[in-house]
Amino acid sequence: MNETRQRRLDEIAYVAHGLEVKTKVPAACTIAVWAIESNWGAEPIGEANYHGIRFVQTRHKRRHTVEDRDYMRGREVIVDIDYADFDSLHASSEDFCRIVSATPVYEKSWRAFMVNKDAQVLMFDVARKYRQDPNYPRVALQIFGQSNVAEAIRRSRQRLAA
């Protein structure tokens, strides 16, 4: 992994671990979606949407419209999508954690996670619903389980404990 990509991974691991302490959303879940949606932090949508969060008028102040691929009825299509725009990696990550832990879409998965604490099952459930792309859960779980992700989270825990 090149130095720039490692620096971005360390940054999201630090943010994601801090949010895990606050929200209970596993840091590896936040990192996996970040990696997929922003090409490992290199290509956020707009200023700082690192998690591919769609614009919701009642919750977001700014939007960024992008021609993007989506899936409708199992078929890939190219459409204009309104994404939320954020001021920072932290704000994007915080909104992602709020979506996972406090919206009806993930309520059943979140409640199950709060009982069984199986982060891998939560990651699969979130990924399955987060995008219609049939490959999304497989890719998310691969990133979720990568040793470099686990190592970055371990380093962030040490930084926060120091």
Backbone angles phi, psi at 70, to 5 degrees: -145, 175
Tokens matching residue 131: 């995008």
pLDDT tens track for 49-91: 999 999 998 999 999 999 988 777 778 888 899 999 999 999 9
Give the pTM.
Answer: 0.93
pLDDT: which is higher, 72 or 23: 23
Could you give all domains of the chain from N- to C-terminal order, each with its CATH number?
Answer: 3-43+86-161 (1.10.530.10)
CB under 8 A, 24+ apart: contacts of 115-122: 119/26, 119/28, 119/29, 119/144, 120/144, 120/145, 122/26, 122/29
